[in-house]
Amino acid sequence: MAPILVPIQTRNHAVLSISRELLSAARHIASGSGGEVEALLLSDDPSATAAQIGSADRVLTMAHPALRDYNPEAQLMSILAAVRQRSPAAVVLAYDTMGLDLAAALSQELGWPMVGYCSSISMSNGHLTSESHIYGGRLTAQSQATLPAIITVLPGAFEEDQGSQSAIREELAPPPQLNSLRITHIETASPPMGDVDLTRADKILCVGRGIGDKDNIGAAQALAQLLGAELAGSRPVVDSGWLPKERQVGKSGKKVKPKLYLALGVSGAPEHLEGMKSSEIVIAINNDEAAPIFGTAHYGATCDLHSLIATLSARLR
């Protein structure tokens, strides 16, 4: 059977955790189709990274100086070249910056269907069945697609594949288009380190749009201090300027795994769940009983947020 192809994401020659999640998703598809899982490693020096990928049946490497830093044009040309050489049943990408860059372009170039926002995937009778979060996670849509197809998976939907098998390695020839790219990588800019590292916090109190306005942030901050927790915010809160970027949780913020995650007025869009889904205990407070956050929370309550903050703060004092 045709393989399932997973382009691997790296940073400084280290495999990112999202790629291990995608390998796990690919394994779900392969188990229903009888195919292998093939990892595609694009780099200026794949040998420095290939040994880290122990959960694929085969590691395909492609080396070229243009693949040293992330360049969407170079990635697209290289993945297309790999697809034409390997004829996979599916290409699995994450619903993240790279996936948004490449998935639709691959679908258009190959003429394959694309299924996005996938939270679960299964194979039956040669058809791919998937569930996708839509409308900010408030609805789940089920769809079927014939293979071959392009699939984008929600980060956090699958556990990281921890396989350690000895994968077969095979080198692929880079496409000649890499020698005449229109896009040039100039530099990689990292945001400055702030006064907090949410990724190391044991307790996080996160406020969402339900907090109301900036004037209510102080009460939430006081409650966080009483709990011994770090204060964080969802993207709407940070975009509004109520909290600094370094305190944002979600796809475009920090990915956290605290022992306690208290979500106050957070709706629970898929982009936010991506950043905190692995928390040990999630407690959600929202006055909308249909808020998607309750699908992830271990405990939840529908009540007035501001009354809860005041009452809980008084109890803790």
Instruction: Render pLDDT for 266-297 as a digit per residue (tens, 0 to 9).
Output: 999 888 988 898 899 999 999 999 999 999 99
The answer to which of 9-13, 48-52, 70-74, 129-133 has the lowest mean pLDDT is 48-52
Q: What does the pLDDT read at residue 109? A: 97
Q: Which residue has the higher pLDDT, 252 or 181?
A: 181
Give CA–CA dist 304/212, Å, rounded.
11
Q: What is the pLDDT of residues 221-273, one digit of tens each?
A: 999 999 999 999 999 999 999 999 899 998 878 889 999 999 999 999 888 98
Per-residue pLDDT band at 94 (split at 50, 70, 90): very high
3-class state of residue 161 by DSSP: coil
* Joined tokens for residue 316: 């803790």
Give CA–CA dist 8/23, Å, rounded.
9
Q: What is the pLDDT of residues 100-109, one digit of tens each?
A: 999 999 999 9
Closest to 200 in 3D by CA, of 246, 265, 158: 246
Residue 178 has pLDDT above 70, yes or no: yes
Q: What does the pLDDT read at residue 3? A: 93
Top CATH class of 4-179 equals alpha beta
Give CA–CA dist 43/63, Å, rounded.
5
The mean pLDDT of the chain is 90
Do the Cβ atoms of 132 and 115 come closer than 8 Å?
A: yes
* Joined tokens for residue 51: 């040994």
Taking residues 12-16, what's their average pLDDT?
Answer: 87
Percent pLDDT > 90 in the chain is: 65
Q: Which residue has the higher pLDDT, 155 or 227?
A: 227
Number of C-beta neighbours around residue 162 at 10 A: 10
Whole-model pTM: value is 0.77
**Strand runs (DSSP E) across 1-138, as ranges?**
4-7, 10-11, 14-15, 37-43, 58-63, 90-94, 114-124, 127-134
Residue 193 has pLDDT above 70, yes or no: no
**Strand runs (DSSP E) across 66-167, as ranges?**
90-94, 114-124, 127-134, 139-146, 149-153
Per-residue pLDDT band at 191 (split at 50, 70, 90): low
Q: How far apart are the first and last CA of the chain?
A: 64
Domain segments of the chain as ranges:
4-179, 198-316
Give CA–CA dist 46/203, Å, rounded.
38
Taking residues 199-208, what's their average pLDDT?
Answer: 94
**Longest alpha-carbon distance in the chain:** 67
Percent pLDDT > 70 in the chain is: 97
Q: Quick one: fold of 198-316?
A: Rossmann fold (3.40.50)
Taking residues 193-212, what's their average pLDDT?
Answer: 89
Q: Which residue has the higher pLDDT, 24 or 157?
A: 24
Residue 138 has pLDDT above 80, yes or no: no
Q: What does the pLDDT read at residue 165? A: 66
